[in-house]
A and B are shown apart, each in its own frame.
Chain A
Amino acid sequence: MSPAHRSAPGPPSPVRRRRWLPAALLLLLATPVWASAGRQPHGHDHGNTPNVTDRTSGTSLSDTRIRWPGWRKVVDTLLMRQYNTRTVLLGTILLGIGAGTVGTFMLLRKRSLVGDVVSHASLPGIALAFLCVELAQPGKGRSLPTLLLGALLAGLTGVLCTIGIRRFSRIKEDTAMAIVLSVFFGIGIALFTVIQKLPTGQVAGLQQFIYGQTASMTSADVRLIGMVSILVIAVSCALFKEFGLLCFDEEFARSHGWPTVWLDLVLMALVVCIAITGLQSVGLLLVVAMLIIPPAAARFWTERLGTMTVIAAVLGGLSAWLGGIVSSLFARFSAGAVIVLAGTLFFMVSLTLGTRRGLAPRLLRQWSNNRRIGRHDLLRTLYEMLESQLDTFPADSSVDPLCLTRLTSDEILSRRSWSRSRLAGLLNNAVGDGLLDASDGGWKMTATGAEEARLVARNHRLWETYLILHADIAPNHVDRDADLIEHVLEPDLISQLLEAVSERYPQMEMPPSPHPLEPGT
């Protein structure tokens, strides 16, 4: 048997075993913990993410004006000359890329809000990990690997609880998510209030898990985010086909023997990794937004999964960059919120301009379609009005007989239920397209107009005849159906139609209308 023969597509093998998937899952979960080894969360006890330059510029909080930056500062920021700006930008951009990638799959699986659940649900894990380690080994509780491990476990537990509640009760998915999110978060808050009353817990460093500390990101944070992002992208690339299958047709994947449950868990683990890593460096809000907004924006530009993933990653990175720059230029803008709003800006641009699903291209298509349909309707009307007179003209005339007769608006209105203004618009468009000429109070067709009018009328009648011959529709019912279809008939479809009706009208240039054309008859 030749190799070519052997590789010919046969029936799919019944079970595709991926024994390494569980191991990969473990490895995946271990990475953020390992990458953060030996580190402590940096402690800045402050509320929501302060702006990037807060620490250096020393802006007073009582200053409510927005201070415009000088051009030196703009250049400095754009060239990322400051170490702090560089770190923050790099970290958030990497996070944006990673979150955009994995968020794409979550969006397509209609689970965009899972990131929200995971990041809220991880809170009690952090608190419990701190408490347990402090009790076992006093003073060691605030090491980052421990806290991340706790967060990972709690986040995964949250996801599993959501699945479990939905599976074992009549509670729907959205309610299950809301329950897990709020109850886990409540437990977390309760634990934190206790921890903060302990002598060792008073030092902050745990608080930032809720808000994050975008501005005080260190190069070690960036390394951690970078490693997790690379891991996420690598796994997404390696399992791209499988994830795509999971997103678009889970039943099909299962029926072909793919381990959908494990794949689902790996995907969830990716979300948990990104969410937890982002949580401790940029905060809850930004993580949730980064997982949802860039993929949702990318959806407007393409129908292909690969392209969409790339666009989502790029948009995630771009909004992080833009938000970071803006927040470092304006003293009072907090980085996290500005990055979210930059993402929203990209989303709105995509919503309006996106080439595949955006509003503007769609409206444009709709508008040009309507215009074409209006033109066709007008030309066919004119043709039908003139048709009865065609025989009276000499056949050998050098001028098209259709172009000789002048028609007034009132005559046209007597044949159609158009309003006067609509007719005026149609006529105007047709004159603009060079299909009609205005001549003392009426209109005449040009040669191009006559040509197109014949074509439109013929398409209309071909379809009518076809419906009568092959679909058994009464002659007085075909006009409306043909009205809808005549505008979208392609040339090769026309030739097929010609063939289909040739038994009835052999060699005919223009089939006669199968129904009376005068209104009211």
Chain B
Amino acid sequence: MLAVTDILTFVFSSLIDDWFELDTWIVITAALAAMACAIPGSFLVLRRQSMMGDALTHTVLPGIVAAFLLSHYLKSAGWIATDPSDPHQAFDATSYTFMFAGAMLTGVLTAVLTEWISRQGRVENSAALGVVYTSLFAVGLLTIRLAADNVHIDPDCVLYGNLESVWTGPGEIPRAAWVSGGTLLFNVILVTCFFKELRISTFDPALATSLGINATLIHYALMAVTAATAVAAFESVGNILVIAMLIVPAATAHLLTDRLWLMLVLAALIGAASAAIGHAMALVLPPLLLAPFADQPLLSGVPIDSLDASTSGMMAATAGGIFILALLLGPRHGIVLRMIYRLRLAIRIAAEDLLGTLYRQDETSPRTGPTVDHKSLVQRFATWRLRRHQLVTGSSGHPVLTEAGRHAARKLIRAHRLWESYMDRHFDVPADHLHETAHRVEHYLDPELRDQLAHELDTPGTDPHGREIPDD
């Protein structure tokens, strides 16, 4: 383990100037936390309960506070043993057990209350969630203030996390890394054991119930696990950014794949990548961006290199950046690919329309007419492509079909007129309405379908308007 960190430190420090062993441990801790979060997060995204993740990260606060108070009182009453070496009595195994139990209880409580209010009170689900989480969070804030001296809880630490202080010394594995790693291991074991149940109840709760799987139980168990994971990640990435690690990598993975197991793996990897890149960005990006303004009075007296940003903030930002990349460039659902596909289709249709127009002109009055005026960019590009494939020659204002072009156009016109004949025979459509539909369908009729149509119509010679149907 330590050898691995040495290697990682070496690699990163050769890339980034001020990278030390501390930074490696920050990245490892954050990556473990992010990977642990990605697993329940994926299920939240698929179950459309992402905002439940947001709510849970807030509502565990009263649970943690209550757990701390309880363990404190039990210790001071002498019911459980204390560790004399820990001045705050806050971070021993007992406290951790209490904290996780408290968080899981409040997690389930949030889900139960939301469910109950929205069902019994007929309140819309997200509103019920809003009511429950703001109320519980307020209870937590009040309790913290009332119990400020008995319990060593710093609200700021719970809210923003304290990644920079995880490291305890060279050669030691930080406690936060143990906690995050343990949670990750626990989540992985849970998912492996109950993969089938989770999958069925996520995608088809009704089917799950009919198969004898208790979907409600799984729902509440997921809430408890999410709450526990959130608590484990608090210490490193902080309350509010846990939601980023829960949802954003999972949503990114959801854009990239349709397989559940692949989504889980991808989400974990993306979470880990956001941690590493995020920390590097936190070190590198602010000095880089602020360097041009170094002579401004705002930055006077501050060494530019010391202006590093919060790692957890940059982690969330990096995860957001990866999400945008996936949104744009994703293999099947990416915006860019879809746009390219649409553009190619538009160009093909424009080109075929031009071929059809030229063919029809040739039919009525051969070799006449400067009639084709192509205005739009798509049409220009279509013409350019037709010329390149030598389907069309002549000047730009007077395009003329070549022999190959005539052959291509004939196929299209044949599709058009066959479709018109087919519509005319089988549907009750007036003759002057046939063209529009055929004009749209003609681009999608392949040779096989054309032959089938011709066969069905007993190989007609002319279309309903009396024009000749050309051969393929």
Contacts and interface: CB of A to CB of B under 8 A. Distances in A.
Contacts of B298: 134-135, 138, 198-200
Interface in B260-312: 282, 286, 290, 293, 296-302, 306-310, 312
Nearest to A333: B142
Interface string B43-57: 001001111011000
Nearest to A357: B122
A243 interface: no
A347 B129 CA distance: 13
B128 interface: yes
B121 A183 contact: no
B323 interface: yes
B373 to A, nearest CB: 32
B123 interface: yes
A113 B51 contact: yes
B293 A341 contact: no
B316 A199 contact: no
B331 interface: no
B127 interface: yes
B129 to A, nearest CB: 7
Nearest to A108: B124
A130 to B, nearest CB: 10
Interface string A115-144: 010001000000000000011001100000
A333 B147 CA distance: 11
B243 interface: yes
B241 interface: yes
A5 interface: no
Contacts of B317: 183, 186-187, 190
Interface string B87-109: 00000000000000000000000
Interface in B119-160: 120-124, 126-131, 134-135, 137-139, 141-142, 145-150, 155-156, 160
A301 interface: no
Contacts of B138: 285, 289, 336-338, 340-341, 344
A171 interface: yes
A332 B247 contact: no
Contacts of A95: none
A369 interface: no
A191 interface: yes
Interface in A314-341: 332-334, 336-338, 340-341
Contact of A190 (B49, B123, B127, B314): B314
A507 interface: no
Given A47-B155, A292-B134, A333-B142, A199 B127 contact: no
B54 A186 contact: no
A296 B135 CA distance: 13
B254 A170 contact: yes
Contact of B335 (A47, A169, A344): A169
A288 interface: yes
A231 interface: no
B314 A175 contact: no
A120 B282 CA distance: 20
Given A193-B313, A198-B299, A174 B48 contact: yes
B316 A185 contact: yes
A296 B309 contact: no
Measured as residues with beta carbon below 8 angstroms from the partner, the interface class of chain A is: 35 or more
Contacts of B243: 178, 181-182
Classify the interface of chain B: helix, strand, loop or mixed: helix
A337 to B, nearest CB: 4
Nearest to A111: B126
B423 interface: no
B130 to A, nearest CB: 4
A293 B148 contact: no
A256 interface: no
A110 interface: yes
A181 B142 CA distance: 24
A199 B293 contact: no
* Interface-centre pick from A170, A186, A300 (highest chain B CB count, 10 A): A186
Nearest to B121: A351
Nearest to A334: B145
A398 interface: no
A368 interface: no
Contacts of B121: 300, 351, 357, 359
B22 interface: no
Contacts of B53: 178
A194 B319 CA distance: 19
Contact of A185 (B240, B297, B309): B240
A150 B333 CA distance: 33
A87 B155 CA distance: 27
Given A190-B282, A359-B120, A334 B150 contact: no
Contacts of B142: 333-334, 337-338, 341
B134 A186 contact: no
Interface residues of B, number: 73
Contacts of A341: 135, 138-139, 142
Contact of B148 (A61, A168, A178, A194): A61
B302 A199 contact: yes
Contacts of A359: 120-121
Nearest to A189: B313
Contacts of B222: none
A285 B134 contact: yes
B26 interface: no
A112 interface: yes
Contacts of A139: 297
B323 A334 contact: no
Contact of B310 (A107, A120, A193): A193
B343 to A, nearest CB: 16
A176 B124 CA distance: 19
Nearest to A188: B313
A74 interface: no
Nearest to B160: A189
A296 B248 contact: no
A351 B123 CA distance: 10
A197 B127 contact: no
Interface of B: 45, 48-51, 53-54, 117, 120-124, 126-131, 134-135, 137-139, 141-142, 145-150, 155-156, 160, 240-241, 243-244, 246-248, 251, 254-255, 282, 286, 290, 293, 296-302, 306-310, 312-317, 319-320, 323, 327, 333, 335
Interface of A: 47-48, 61-62, 64, 66, 107, 110-113, 116, 120, 134-135, 138-139, 165, 168-172, 174-175, 177-179, 181-183, 185-194, 197-200, 285, 288-289, 291-293, 295-296, 299-300, 332-334, 336-338, 340-341, 343-344, 347, 351, 357, 359
25 contacts: A64-B150, A169-B255, A169-B333, A170-B254, A174-B126, A178-B53, A182-B247, A183-B248, A186-B244, A189-B312, A192-B310, A194-B307, A197-B306, A199-B298, A199-B302, A285-B137, A285-B138, A293-B130, A296-B123, A337-B141, A341-B135, A347-B135, A351-B120, A357-B122, A359-B121
Counting from the closest, the 6 A-B pairs by CB-CB distance are A186-B316, A183-B320, A190-B313, A182-B244, A189-B313, A292-B130
Given A198-B302, A338-B142, 19 more contacts: A113-B129, A174-B49, A175-B45, A177-B50, A178-B54, A179-B320, A182-B240, A182-B243, A186-B244, A189-B160, A189-B313, A190-B317, A194-B308, A197-B307, A285-B137, A285-B138, A341-B135, A344-B138, A351-B121
